[in-house]
Structure 1
Amino acid sequence: MTNAKPNFPCACPDCTCSFAADKAVERDGKQYCSHACADLHPNGTPCPSSDCDCERSMTLGDRSVSDSKLDEAVEETFPASDPISP
């Protein structure tokens, strides 16, 4: 019997990568092979796998901001420096 860990496919469209469950990057309930794929390749950030070019298939419209990125942005700007209006 082998102790090989099963590999899972990346949720990024057109990504050919697979990964072990303990190496997954989870975003919005989906599992990805890397942070670049999970963030939908912002600014064309390439897939870390040298034999995968999934970032090339992403259009600007596909690169929507994930809920986790919005949450992070809100946390970084809260509390606002402006006082609360009376």
Structure 2
Amino acid sequence: MALPTVRRGVALGLGVLWWCAVLRLALAPDAGVLEGAVVAGGWGVSLLPVHCVPKGRAAGAMGAGRWRAAWRIAHVTTASPLRRSDAGSGPS
């Protein structure tokens, strides 16, 4: 019970620190390298795939054969065929 509370507190604290750095960088004329480093670091960390798991353990992961089957039947279409260039114009 205490561990999730600590994690949320740390995440909230780091989020507040990041937003303060963003606002200071955008609004304060004397903002500098420290604020820029905090903003760039926080943005870079947000791009990390921290919730990745192996495909076999992922909830809702699709099996390998399922995509192959979908691509096999994907060539069937109900759209009209394209007209040839010498066939004239279609009805407007």
Structure 1 and Structure 2 fold alike (TM over 0.5): no
- TM-score, normalization by structure 1: 0.26
Task: Work out which of the two has the higher radius of gyration on C-alpha atoms and give 1 or 2.
Answer: 2
When you count strand as a share of all residues, which structure comes out higher? 1
